[in-house]
Structure 1
Amino acid sequence: MPFRVELPPTFGDRLAAADGAGDPALIGGWVCSGSPVAAEITASSGLDWILLDGEHSPIGLESTAELLRAIAPYPATPVVRVPALDTALIKMFLDLGAQNIIVPMVDTRQMAEQASATMFYPPRGVRGVGSALARSARWNGVENYLTRAHELVSLTVQIESATAVENAAEIAAVDGVDAVFVGPSDLAASMGHLGQQTHPEVLAAVDTVFQAVKAAGKRVGVNAFDPAQAQKYADAGADFIAVTSDVTVLAQGMRATAGTWGR
């Protein structure tokens, strides 16, 4: 018998497994530096999931593959945020082995449907077929990859604007969307409250999204680097929360050290 590779559970699988009454939110951190060492340290820390940020960092296609390899030995689930809703680009991220995709700035149902279509082979979607050449199927090492690929990928879309908040229920209801991730920073800017992620109107908008996504039977997450606010989101029913990043921890730690020495 030829050796066969089994891929790890998807982010959607992990969220579903943690959906019992009283289960805590899955806690994650960002990797923005592009460093495989930082990614491995983050993955070995005990966090549940790791967001590899291809939108606001120097992380591209080749570096994403290296970061995924660095994380692979650990239980943490890697989730790759692509730069934009682009069918060809998402295909490339999927083929390099990103099972879990986050698409930023999804404002409408139509955009969510386009994002969903990028994740699946025809006839369900529009993903190009190249698994024999790609890490996604471990170069045909994953048995029956083509017929099982829909079970081996997971899609999260981001709600980051006032328009998206209004369309949250329709976005969450799209087939193929496993989860919705709220970005309070861009949402605050969209609402005229730049830099004020905890403005009452922003918090109310986040709660609106939480309720809409939960009503659709989907999982909802949020970004919150302030521990007190993160706990409030957890208490409000967030299924997953991003609470820090590699560059944040490094910057804060180095500045604190410099401060200790009077710098």
Structure 2
Amino acid sequence: MWVCSGSPLIAELCAGSGLDWLLVDAEHSPNGLESILAQLQAVNGYPVEVLVRPPVNDTVLIKQYLDLGVQNLLVPMVNSVQEAEAAVAATRYPPHGVRGVGSALARASRWNRVPGYLARASETVSVTVQIESTAAVEAVKEILAVDGVDGIFLGPSDLAASMGVLGQQEHPKVRAAVEHCLAAAKTAGKPAGVNAFNPATARSYLAAGAAFVLVGADVAILARGSEALAAAFTKPSDGETPASY
């Protein structure tokens, strides 16, 4: 599920829920370096995988995330082979990439307490890139072939917008594009994930080969749950607007 609140307490609640994985999001959520660090610390030790999504495919920002101890990156808006290669390069030290060297100052190496960290750092990092435009769908086979791209993740919302059907994640041509990419990933031998809050759609994508699915979000659960309480126990004061407290 998505972890979007920016709260370490909420992240820890979600980490202990029994879910397989969490996505700490900084693209559409109020997460900065300090709150991401606090959430990584809060969920450490729980039996859950954690991905972190930066707001942009940026070399400097990715360096900072890795130094914090982020090990699984979900890089948004990767539309081409060149952009996929740039994401990978940002996670590798020279000569294999462009990651800046600061391990003595970084939680990732436990401040140089991890023996041989610089030589082995790339082994501790996974790079999943987001396919969420028509250009990315067209280039998905080539993106999957990029050395260092460990998997792809489909974003039906932005894909729908790119296809001219904004807000229609269930549109047949959006679903067809998602399934095309799932098939391409299977052929490439790499995992593919997708966002699907509709349970029936999530199960359909799992049946079509998705290896992992986002099926909810902390803020959405709180919003819908609190609305349900309001609907059950309060009377609207003006039309459909509930009374405030």
**Runs of 4+ residues deviating >4 angstroms:** none
Partner of 1:33: 5
Q: Give distance in 1, aligned partners of 2:212 and 2:115.
A: 31
The yes-or-no answer on 1:90 pairing with 2:101 is no
Offset at 1:109? 0.5
- Quote the sequence identity (%): 60
Q: Give distance in 1, aligned partners of 2:208 and 2:186.
A: 11
The yes-or-no answer on 1:132 pairing with 2:118 is no
The yes-or-no answer on 1:228 pairing with 2:200 is yes
Structure scoring higher RCO (CA < 8 A, sep ≥ 6) equals 1
Unaligned runs of 5+ in 1: 1-28
Q: Secondary structure at the match of 1:38?
A: helix
Partner of 1:53: 25
Unaligned runs of 5+ in 2: 236-245
Offset at 1:141? 1.9
Q: Give distance in 2, aligned partners of 1:143 and 1:62.
A: 26
Q: Secondary structure at the match of 1:158?
A: strand
Partner of 1:171: 143
List per-residue Cα deviations over 1:12-66 (Å, max 9, x = no partner). Answer: xxxxxxxxxxxxxxxxx01111011110000000111110001001101111000
The normalised TM-score by structure 2 is 0.94
Counterpart amino acid of residue 64 in structure 2: M
Alignment size in residue pairs: 235
Q: Is the 8 A contact 2:2 2:22 kept in 1?
A: yes
1:62 pairs with one of 31, 34, 37: 34
Offset at 1:216? 1.5
* Structure whose alpha-carbon radius of gyration is higher: 2
The yes-or-no answer on 1:121 pairing with 2:93 is yes
Counterpart amino acid of residue 181 in structure 1: F
Q: Is the 8 A contact 2:5 2:30 kept in 1?
A: yes
Q: Secondary structure at the match of 2:149?
A: coil
List per-residue Cα deviations over 1:89-141 (Å, max 9, x = no partner). Answer: 11001101111111100000110001010111111111111111100111112
Counterpart amino acid of residue 72 in structure 1: N
Q: Give distance in 2, aligned partners of 1:68 and 1:255.
A: 30
Q: Give distance in 1, aligned partners of 2:20 and 2:147.
A: 25
Offset at 1:262? 3.9
Q: Secondary structure at the match of 1:138?
A: coil
1:260 pairs with one of 218, 232, 243: 232
Q: Give distance in 2, aligned partners of 1:196 and 1:58.
A: 25
Partner of 1:16: none
Partner of 1:141: 113
Q: Give distance in 2, aligned partners of 1:174 and 1:32.
A: 29
List per-residue Cα deviations over 1:185-204 (Å, max 9, x = no partner). Answer: 00001001111001000011
The normalised TM-score by structure 1 is 0.88
List per-residue Cα deviations over 1:213-233 (Å, max 9, x = no partner). Answer: 221111100000111100101
Counterpart amino acid of residue 186 in structure 1: D
Counterpart amino acid of residue 128 in structure 1: G
Q: Give distance in 2, aligned partners of 1:172 and 1:96.
A: 27
Partner of 1:189: 161
Partner of 2:71: 99
Offset at 1:78? 1.1
Offset at 1:147? 1.1
List per-residue Cα deviations over 1:137-170 (Å, max 9, x = no partner). Answer: 1111222111111110110000000110000001
RMSD over equivalenced CA pairs, Å? 0.8
